[in-house]
Structure 1
Amino acid sequence: MPARGRADGYGAGVLGVPGFNTINWIDNDSFVLLWGDHGDVAQVYAIDLARRSIEQRTQSQTDVVTFRAGPNNTLYYFARRVADRTSSERALRDGFAVDTHASLISLLNGWTEGVTPLDLNGVELFRIVAGRSERWTPHGPGITCGQPWFAFALSPDGAQILLDRAPDEVPAIWRAYPDYLLRLLIGNRQDGRACQSVLASLYVVDGQSGEARALIDAPLDPRAKVAWSPDGLSILVGPTFAPIGSTSLADEAVRKFLAIETRTGRWRTLPMPEVSEISSLRWLSSQRAEICRTEVSCDRFGLHGDDWALERRATPPLASPGATLAIEQGLNVPPRLVSIDAHGRRHLLFDPNPDLSRRFRLGHVERISWPTESGSQWGGVLYYPTNFRPGRRYPLVLQLEPAAAGERFSLYGPSQAGLGPGFSIYAAQALANRGMFVLEIDEARIEGSTLTEHEPAAFMRIYESAVRALVSRALVREDAVGISGQSHHGWRVEYALTHSSFVFAAALASDHANGGYMQASFHQWPHEQMQMAGAEPFGAGLAKWLENSPGFNVERVRTPLRLQRESGGVRVVIGPWETFSRLNHLRAPVELYFIPDIERGSHVLQHPSQVLASQEGAVDWFDFWLNGREDVSPGKADQYERWRVLRERRDALARVPRPPLLQWTATQVAPANQVEAERASRDPSE
């Protein structure tokens, strides 16, 4: 196997979530996987265990980002697009006017057309049939382009391909769905920009002709999973949306599990209660299916006549009349394979990590709950310090990655189950080994707040109530509480630092949108950013931005903040630049860090050296600020030299009174609503 292999370019990172770039078994002896060639280009390799051989299946000039293998050595794969820069180079030479759809990031990359960051990381579909590789483009009404975001599967005979694609136009009836997030996706899509949208529907493509046709007139939920029936005549998909207006749906906002006939588009629902996530779904035969909430909780369904019916609820996935095989795990019990006999007795069959607790110190993990400001109960998963002693208080780190349901073991946080590598900045057990509590807080939709100005404020109060509860239990030091969040949760971190009355001792936000004015302007004021701020940043609406945007309130920050970039290359420094530059100007303790090899970074990190740098940096950061400790490793001398300077900044800033949070009014930012008045006075024909 090539030693320098990487499969984690930005495009691969977007798709490199669990279930996409996993091992694809061909038979009992061989499988294919994504790895890097000696030139550090991600390729597909075939491994034959019986012959002990390795074969490189693709010869792509750019990273392969995801693939599916079929019978007779058929292979379909998406590779990063090699974009034609001819027109941009000509425009740069001759002069040009900026396209009205262009983003600043695109222009900084030298693209003069209306190219978006997603376009820059676009992909093309290829296939290998009879040993020949060729670019392959599906075609048909309503399908133009798009990324392989969620659904990409071959039928058992390899004759058909299931893809999710952005339709040319959003069907008008889709706007009638009451689901809030779906409406937000529809509103966030700009006309003519289908290729950059994650709003998509399911299409079946004929492997011979390339002709594509929509399966049903309904959007695909991003969390849905798909599976072909053994006979290739049906698709099982869910949880997702059913076509609107059906008399079989009591509530059109509820996501369903659908069995869809690929030839006719006829669909039926399976009587499965709505769940936000499932671990797997599969066909047991052409008329029986299984849906698993967790590895050991599966429901089985059968097609009886014209309807699907529940046959067995909450049964382990592997069972026989005499015994049942199950993967058993808990918050403090690593996964292991057990057999359960007819009397309910458990017998250990295989423990892949028998000496884990002897080789490593692991902090105790438990579920906790606490009262919120409103009087309701909220919950989460708490990791104890490995050196915990009753009666002693310890630092605390809030990891703003939602705690997963169930009793799943994890070294990093319950949202990242298992013992394999985690991603980004989360490192619960490593922090516990440095003498800290770590709390991952349950994630639940607070009605009417998601991706609005109310969301970070609502969760900020939950974070504050969690800290109060642990302090009142004499577990946590109130002056040593850290907070960390990646992606969407980084916005909540920045908001808490600027808007909370509680002053955190350290913070870390990585690869995130921050609800800031500069980020919105770089991307041509997307609908989502307007929702996050509460208004458009013009006229009276600017008051909302001044009040809600963290970037406009950084003078209140007293917390050492590490901003991190994991994807998009160096040019995306403009993303966190508003927060970084304003804090730096105020001589606040702020650091902007890029992970190693940032040009090949990804939003969901996969490469070991990048994951290690991100997690080790997070552990060192919180250990320094919450425990006052430094790692004496020679290679980290520069790191601590920087942080000691930031500590001096923190101490100096602590002597400056923290200003109050300003309340802005429309008349302060636009006297007499002058902007609206000017709009109203314009000639309608303009």
Structure 2
Amino acid sequence: MVSANIRGWLGLAVLCLLFPATARANCEDVLPANEPSGTVKRDLTAADLIQLREIGDPDSAVFNGPSPFAVSPDGSRIAYIINRADLAKNSYCRALVVGGLTGVGSPDIVDRGGELIKIMDVQRGFYLPSGATRTIVPSWSPDGRTLAYLRRDHGVTQAWVAQADGGGARAITRSDVDVEAVAWSEDGTRLLYGTRKGAAAVREELDREGQSGWLYDRRVSPEISARPLTPATEALDVSAVDLRTGAVMPADAAEQSAVERAAPADMPVDPEAIGADGRKAHLERSNTSPLTPARLVVTNGDSSRRCDAEACAGGIVSLWWRGASVLILRREGWAKEAMALYRWRPGAARPTALLRTTDVLHGCVMAGTELVCTREDSSTPRKVVAIDTANGRMRTIFDPNPEFAGIRLGSVTRLRWRNDLGLEAWGDLVLPPGHKPGEKLPMVVVQYHSDGFLRGGTGDDYPIFLLAQRGIAVLSTERPNFFAAAFPQLKTWYEINAANQKDWGERRSLLSSILTGVRMAVDRSDIDPARVGITGLSDGASTVAFALINSKAFAAAALSTCCMEPNTTATYGGIAWAEWLRGMGYPPATQDNPGFWRDMSLARNAARIDTPLLMQLADNEFRLALEAFGALHEQSKPVEMYVYPDEFHVKWQPIHRRAVYERNLDWFSFWLQGREDPDAAKIAQYRRWRAMRSGEQPSPEPVPVR
């Protein structure tokens, strides 16, 4: 009689014949080779930041995403995917790795290759490309010998399996559309995978519709494409592959549920944990407002126990059971700048604190008696750590970026303040390496989160430590709570957004916070208030526009997205976007409302805005900036715009990220320090900028008519 394990590997051998191996990418440095040597630290480079080895979501301000870690069935190993940008090839090196949980050292690579898998956001009922990296979580087979995961090659995401001992990896599916999730059957003999419900049929129908013209309706977002967007759905078409024969068949109900549980949620959900005895730890709110702090409750059948302690409400990121107690990971303190781990035994008056830190912990999963997480701080990139859940002690398992121990960075000081509404906020003031007290410095404000390692702010376009290295201080700001948090009667995010929008209340609150932080930096350090710049992406970009109109505090500015304008925002955003804006209180495009736009429209205020403004935008968003850019350019204001091809809200291509970094560095060095890079390739750039500074706009050279 052949055992189940042997049958499974015989099936895998069949699949190896059905699906030939894909050549591995040449990414030899996806794992670090050596520890840094010597005692003299070197300067930071753009390549150091762009080519960081990433584990999980690169955005350190995202606390509600999936963990990158998968713990083996016996609890002795973890599997995860490492991403590293490759500037030379303008691509990414990806590796599926397996590491032990004892000792310290690099994990083993069990598969290498594939393309970056990006998140598709859900907006107004449709999928929109975001450019942000999706966290891919491997799945262990029940016997712990094999890993299933998603890998993208040639523009399509497929289900793959790899032997956990590094013995080989193969594609299991040949789907025409992206595979969204994978799971295992209970006995490990079938691999389960799901694709979006009817995805191929929807694509084919749009192709057919295009033959006679796409109807322009709510599906179309013209700033992205004339092709209608795909309607969002959480429903999946689930199939099963028999690993003994390679046969593909429909999944049964239990297998369908397994894949649906493995699929990423389109919207964040509150954490919960089920104990070995069936007790459920979860969060409840006292009313329906999503801004109401959620409180920990444990239910067991019809009975429940609520934790009434302060540490059991608000900011809870994750929950786990350990024996008869619940572990709570929570953000807390001043504007939630700290993270704390608690242990609560249901029925106790209060939980026991195990750990409190201003470091950022992400992706924590339970492995035996420890939590495995990533850990980072303002000047240290992520490491993989284990936390003893008995006493909160941390130990490092793996440092994916040991090179940073040999790099010289600027000093970081945490500042805390309240804005004019009394809302808590904070920022990290970064001074240049070796700065001497008394030497006046220009400063750039980078928005709008400052959690974890300081790279380039939200969207990673403004390299904080590289700015400091050029002699420019940086104030990396963490935004305060929503203006609408003062109105607990608001029931939905739609109502909250509308309240934030009314009379530009949220913009005024955010600008107040930034100006307060700037004043504190000026008062406490050697910052020259006449040489302060400001930057922003998305919500941060809206704050920049509002700041340029409603203050005179900034000597230079840069935007990664732009803008909210009366004549084109609703038009280029499409019908669904226009409807959403009107629901937020924006006037219709056909209604001239100067009073509404007076405080927000760069175009309406172009004649009185003199702040030099650099725009570096994605090709699927730049149309929203044309009204503002056109008005500023018409008024001979110092404005320049660049458009990056095949980019999205968050720029993902390594060579574009380097170009964005470099131009932002040059821009602020020029306007705040009067410095120019002697690189001959930048002669034309500085010729334009000098003309802007002198108030002259170069006239176009006439082209003779032939």
> Does the alignment reach a TM-score above 0.5?
yes
1:589 matched to 2:638: yes
Other-structure match for 2:465: 429
Q: How does 1:125-144 map to 2 (within 5 A)?
A: 125-131=236-242
Aligned equivalents of 1:123, 1:345: Cα separation in 2:
38
Q: How far 1:528 sits from its partner (Å)?
A: 4.8
Match of 2:606 among 536, 544, 554: 554
Aligned equivalents of 1:549, 1:9: Cα separation in 2:
32
Other-structure match for 1:382: 429
Q: How far 1:350 sits from its partner (Å)?
A: 5.4
Other-structure match for 2:160: 45
Percent identical among aligned pairs is 20
| Paired amino acid for 2:191 | T
Q: How does 1:105-120 map to 2 (within 5 A)?
A: 105=222, 109-111=225-227, 115=228, 117=229, 119=231
Other-structure match for 2:342: 299
Q: How far 1:17 sits from its partner (Å)?
A: 6.2
Q: How does 1:49-68 map to 2 (within 5 A)?
A: 49-64=164-179, 66-68=180-182
Aligned equivalents of 2:157, 2:617: Cα separation in 1:
22
| Paired amino acid for 1:281 | L
Other-structure match for 2:261: 161
Instruction: State the Cα RMSD in Å.
Output: 4.9
Aligned equivalents of 1:354, 1:451: Cα separation in 2:
42
Q: How far 1:345 sits from its partner (Å)?
A: 12
Match of 1:508 among 555, 558, 561: 558
Other-structure match for 2:539: 488
Aligned equivalents of 2:627, 2:476: Cα separation in 1:
28
Match of 1:564 among 616, 622, 628: 616
Aligned equivalents of 1:564, 1:633: Cα separation in 2:
21
Q: How far 1:266 sits from its partner (Å)?
A: 10
Distance 1:163 1:6, change over 3 A: closer
Aligned equivalents of 2:325, 2:545: Cα separation in 1:
48
1:618 matched to 2:664: yes
| Paired amino acid for 1:293 | R
1:36 matched to 2:86: no
Q: How does 1:301-450 map to 2 (within 5 A)?
A: 301-302=344-345, 312-315=352-355, 330-332=377-379, 352=399, 356=403, 359-370=406-417, 378-404=425-451, 408=452, 410-412=453-455, 423-448=459-484, 450=500
1:11 matched to 2:120: yes
Q: How far 1:399 sits from its partner (Å)?
A: 0.8
1:224 matched to 2:266: no
* TM-superposition CA deviations, 1:344-380 (whole Å, max 9, x none): 9989665727965652111111111357567887531
* TM-superposition CA deviations, 1:545-599 (whole Å, max 9, x none): 2443333222232222222334xxx35432222222222222323233233xx43
Aligned equivalents of 1:340, 1:109: Cα separation in 2:
47
Aligned equivalents of 1:77, 1:268: Cα separation in 2:
37
Aligned equivalents of 2:260, 2:234: Cα separation in 1:
20
Aligned equivalents of 1:15, 1:581: Cα separation in 2:
26
Deviates further, 353-362 or 583-592: 353-362
Match of 1:459 among 507, 510, 514: 510
Contact residue 260 and residue 266 of structure 1 kept, 8 A? yes
| Paired amino acid for 2:412 | V
Distance 1:137 1:374, change over 3 A: same
Contact residue 155 and residue 232 of structure 1 kept, 8 A? no
Contact residue 394 and residue 435 of structure 1 kept, 8 A? yes
| Paired amino acid for 1:74 | L
| Paired amino acid for 1:450 | N
Aligned equivalents of 1:353, 1:163: Cα separation in 2:
27
DSSP-derived class of the 1:470 partner: helix
Contact residue 483 and residue 509 of structure 2 kept, 8 A? no
Match of 1:646 among 675, 689, 692: 689
Q: How far 1:646 sits from its partner (Å)?
A: 3.4
Aligned equivalents of 1:555, 1:444: Cα separation in 2:
31
* TM-superposition CA deviations, 1:78-125 (whole Å, max 9, x none): 567635225533543xxx9x655364618x8444xxx4x464x88873
* TM-superposition CA deviations, 1:585-623 (whole Å, max 9, x none): 22323233233xx43x34345554454444444334333
1:84 matched to 2:130: no
Other-structure match for 1:290: 327
Other-structure match for 2:109: none
* TM-superposition CA deviations, 1:614-653 (whole Å, max 9, x none): 444433433343334444567xx2x552353133124307
Contact residue 615 and residue 640 of structure 2 kept, 8 A? yes
Distance 1:356 1:89, change over 3 A: closer
Aligned equivalents of 1:228, 1:512: Cα separation in 2:
41
* Unaligned stretches of 5+ residues in structure 2: 1-23, 27-90, 92-113, 122-127, 332-337, 357-363, 485-498, 698-706
Distance 1:259 1:590, change over 3 A: farther
Contact residue 318 and residue 326 of structure 1 kept, 8 A? yes
Distance 1:389 1:530, change over 3 A: farther
DSSP-derived class of the 1:550 partner: coil
Aligned equivalents of 2:551, 2:249: Cα separation in 1:
56
Match of 2:294 among 236, 252, 255: 255
| Paired amino acid for 2:269 | A
| Paired amino acid for 1:437 | A
Contact residue 160 and residue 173 of structure 2 kept, 8 A? yes
Aligned equivalents of 2:569, 2:666: Cα separation in 1:
29
TM-score (norm. length: structure 2): 0.62
Aligned equivalents of 1:229, 1:320: Cα separation in 2:
15
| Paired amino acid for 1:365 | V
| Paired amino acid for 2:672 | L
| Paired amino acid for 1:224 | V
Aligned equivalents of 1:494, 1:562: Cα separation in 2:
12
Q: How far 1:472 sits from its partner (Å)?
A: 3.7
Aligned equivalents of 1:624, 1:394: Cα separation in 2:
14
Q: How far 1:157 sits from its partner (Å)?
A: 8.9
| Paired amino acid for 2:568 | M
| Paired amino acid for 2:465 | Q
Q: How far 1:492 sits from its partner (Å)?
A: 0.9
Contact residue 192 and residue 251 of structure 2 kept, 8 A? no
Aligned equivalents of 1:602, 1:232: Cα separation in 2:
46
Length, aligned pairs only: 539
Distance 1:87 1:342, change over 3 A: closer
Higher relative contact order (CA 8 A, sep 6+): 2
DSSP-derived class of the 1:424 partner: coil
Aligned equivalents of 2:329, 2:690: Cα separation in 1:
49
Distance 1:303 1:434, change over 3 A: same
Q: How far 1:515 sits from its partner (Å)?
A: 5.6
* Unaligned stretches of 5+ residues in structure 1: 139-153, 166-197, 199-221, 417-422, 655-686
| Paired amino acid for 1:652 | G
Aligned equivalents of 1:284, 1:321: Cα separation in 2:
9
